[in-house]
């Protein structure tokens, strides 16, 4: 999910194994430092169960969590790759601990700078295009991604209107006596 506000978090339905933790910079100082690059199978839990000790139901849950983890990581990687320099750091993830003690990513976000570039509508237009591409980069954009893309489209329209207005104003400098000024706004 793309977000311009770092407090938005994806959540998953609760289960017996639910333990959601964000790895955003605002982690609680009382919690031990977490490795944001942990992948399934690299658990820091000390009481991991051996695969042979798990029930068939637990093994199904683990398979689903592994699949979700892969999807979430690929989704956020697509956002990061397309966002480039407007990304505010890396991806942050929400985790769920599986019955094997391993933490799996079940949600995530990439925070990007969605502000217009003051005084430069051409740069704002380029930035809006980058925001839209970043929001729509994953194979299956989320609702929040679609909303970010729509906001970028509005930003682009406003920047384009401002560019047109400046162009018309510069063309009409000597033509003010004819009343040919046009006020264009989105």
Beta-carbon contacts of 84 under 8 Å, excluding residues fewer than 6 positions away, are 130, 134
Decide if 34 is inside a domain.
yes
3-class secondary-structure state, position 84: helix
Give the phi and the psi of residue 96 in degrees, each rounded to 5: -130, 130
Decide if 181 is inside a domain.
no
pLDDT value of position 123: 97
Q: Cβ–Cβ contacts within 10 Å for residue 185, how many?
A: 9
- Kindly report, residue by residue over 170-183, the tens digit of the pLDDT: 887 755 555 556 66
Decide if 140 is inside a domain.
yes
105 exposure class (CB count in 10 Å sphere: 0-12, 13-18, 19+)? buried
**Domain limits for position 53:** 2-171
How many domains does one find in the chain? 1
Decide if 186 is inside a domain.
no
Decide if 83 is inside a domain.
yes
pLDDT value of position 35: 39
For residue 32, is pLDDT > 80? no
| Stated pTM of the model | 0.67
Radius of gyration of the chain (CA): 23
Decide if 166 is inside a domain.
yes
Q: How far is CA 78 from the centre of its chain?
A: 9
pLDDT value of position 132: 98
First to last CA, the chain: 27
DSSP state of 142: -
Least confident of 26-30, 65-69, 76-80, 147-151: 26-30
Report residue 45's pLDDT band, with 50, 70 and 90 as the boundaries: very low
Q: What is the mean pLDDT of residues 110-137?
A: 96
* Nearest by Cα to 106 from 3, 18, 43, 8: 18
Decide if 35 is inside a domain.
yes
**Residue in the structure block whose two tokens are 């690929």:** 74
Decide if 11 is inside a domain.
yes
């Amino acid at each position: 999910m793309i977000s311009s506000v770092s407090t938005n978090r994806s959540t998953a339905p609760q289960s017996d194994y639910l333990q959601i933790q964000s790895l955003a910079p605002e982690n609680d100082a009382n919690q031990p430092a977490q490795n944001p690059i942990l992948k399934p199978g690299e658990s820091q839990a000390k009481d991991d169960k051996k695969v042979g000790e798990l029930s068939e139901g637990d093994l199904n849950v683990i398979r689903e969590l592994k699949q979700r983890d892969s999807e979430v990581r690929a989704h956020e990687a697509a956002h990061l790759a397309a966002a480039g320099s407007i990304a505010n750091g890396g991806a942050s993830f929400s985790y769920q601990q599986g019955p094997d003690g391993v933490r799996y990513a079940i949600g995530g976000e990439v925070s990007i700078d969605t502000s217009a570039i003051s005084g430069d509508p051409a740069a704002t237009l380029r930035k809006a295009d980058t925001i839209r591409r970043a929001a729509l980069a994953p194979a299956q954009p989320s609702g929040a991604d679609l909303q970010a893309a729509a906001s970028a489209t509005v930003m682009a329209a406003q920047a384009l209107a401002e560019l047109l207005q400046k162009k018309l104003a510069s063309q009409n400098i000597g033509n003010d006596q004819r009343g040919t000024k046009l006020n264009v706004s989105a």
